[in-house]
Amino acid sequence: MALLLPLTGDHAALGLSMQRAAALAESDAALMQVIDTGGTAPGAAAAAAEAIKRKAAMIFGPLTADEARAAAATVAGRVPVIAFTNDAAVAATGAWVFGLTPRQSTSAVLRYARSRGVKSVVVLGDASPWSSAASAAAQALQGELGIDVRAITVTPGQPLPGAGDPPDAVLATGSGEGVLAAARNLKDTGVQLLATLQALDHRPSALEALQGAWIAAPDPKAFGEFSSTFEAKVGGAPGALAALAYDAAGIGRSLRADHKLDRAGLLATDSFACVTGAVRFRADGSCARELAIVVAGPAGYESVATSRGA
């Protein structure tokens, strides 16, 4: 197996964190060869070529969408490429999109909301790439879930666009103060606040504002256990990308143990247990990921359900 990461360049610190996280799941360097991409598309192409030269049976990485496209073009389908990007368009290159995607989080929270009786949702977007993709995912799920979705974009400093009749729920797809403002405005209105993992905020003031909201995110217990191990053995707090690298190494180890380290083995496995949520790989390059539905409380986030995101 090969792990393609930016060990030099602008994202070197992130790449090193991911390398160390992967080493927690696969400590044998001979079994998980780490190759530097430099954080660029040409570097990723060169790293992919080197992985093929070394006869890697599977490639995990690279990090960004541009790097993933370059690596996939170089590999040309000879071995699976499981990229860490969350850009769904990368699946068209033949690489798998392993990152936590807007569609996964949006699908998970809307499926849960529908199971709780929600039939109409207003989606609040802030025009960021994540928010725009989440809004598009929500609208695409209307027919499948039997839910009415109206999307509006909130522009800082501008009046809030009219949303029509009060919905059963509001889905805030952004992050930061925009989500917190929506949470405060919905208090005591009877309208349920929904949010994607971008809304996670561990500040006491944010936890208070978000209390009662349903948020789709990796299970806090599993992520907390990984985080504690990382802090104890590596030092510092890991982010979601470090967790993805840890999960990738675990997937590779599992497939190798079953002598299925290839595309067929990847697709035949119904579910891989991951810190970022149990994952199933699809032939079209996408992944189905189980996410927790978490609710904020004074001590942090607590999981109340599990929902599979598209």
Quick one: CA dihedral 62, 220, 148, 178, positive or negative? negative
Predicted confidence (pLDDT) per residue in 246-276, tens digit: 999 999 999 999 999 999 999 999 999 999 9
**Pair 283, 267: CB distance under 8 Å:** yes
Dist. CA 246–CA 251, nearest whole Å: 9
Please report which confidence band the pLDDT of residue 155 belongs to, taking 50, 70 and 90 as the band edges. low
Assign 268 to helix, strand or coil: helix
> Do residues 80 and 262 make contact, with C-beta atoms less than 8 angstroms apart?
yes
185 pLDDT band, cuts 50/70/90, is confident
Six-digit token pair at 79? Answer: 């071995």
Extract the tokens encoding 245. Answer: 């690298």
pLDDT tens digits along 94-122: 999 999 999 999 999 999 999 999 999 99
The two structure tokens encoding residue 97: 């999109």
**Cis peptide preceding 62, ω within 30 of 0:** yes
Strands 120-125 and 148-153: parallel
pLDDT tens for 223-232 read 999 999 999 9
Q: Give the pLDDT of residue 310.
A: 66
Residue pair 55/77 in contact by the 8 Å Cβ criterion: no
Tokens of 265: 């083995």
Question: According to the model, what pLDDT value does residue 157 have?
Answer: 54
pLDDT reported for residue 14: 96
- State phi, psi for 277 to the nearest 5 degrees: 115, 135
DSSP one-letter code for 8: S
Alpha carbon separation from 247 to 50, 176, 257 (Å, rounded): 23, 27, 15
* pLDDT tens-place string over residues 281-304: 999 999 999 999 999 988 899 999
Q: Which H or E run contains 192?
A: strand 192-195
Contacts of residue 193, Cβ cutoff 8 Å, sequence gap at least 6:
169, 170, 172, 182, 183, 186, 210, 212, 213, 214
- Which 8-state DSSP code applies to residue 129? H
The confidence score (pLDDT) of residue 308 equals 80
Does position 154 have pLDDT exceeding 90, yes or no? no
**Residue 120: what are its φ and ψ, rounded to 5°?**
-140, 135
Q: Is 201:182 a contact under the CB 8 Å cutoff?
A: no
Location of each CATH 3.40.50.2300 domain in the chain: 2-99+222-277, 102-217+292-309
Q: Which amino acid is at 77?
A: G
Rounded mean pLDDT of 68-85? 97
Residue 27's pLDDT band, with cuts at 50, 70 and 90, is: confident
Instruction: Judge whether residue 158 has pLDDT over 60.
Output: no
Domain 2-99+222-277 class, CATH top level: alpha beta
pLDDT of residue 182: 87
Pick 290 or 165 by higher pLDDT: 290
Fold (topology level) of 102-217+292-309: Rossmann fold (3.40.50)
pLDDT at 176: 86
Q: Is the pLDDT of residue 279 over 70?
A: yes
- Return mean pLDDT, the chain: 93
Q: Which two tokens stand for residue 246?
A: 């840890």
The two beta strands, 81-83 and 192-195, are: unpaired
Q: What is the mean pLDDT of residues 72-95?
A: 96
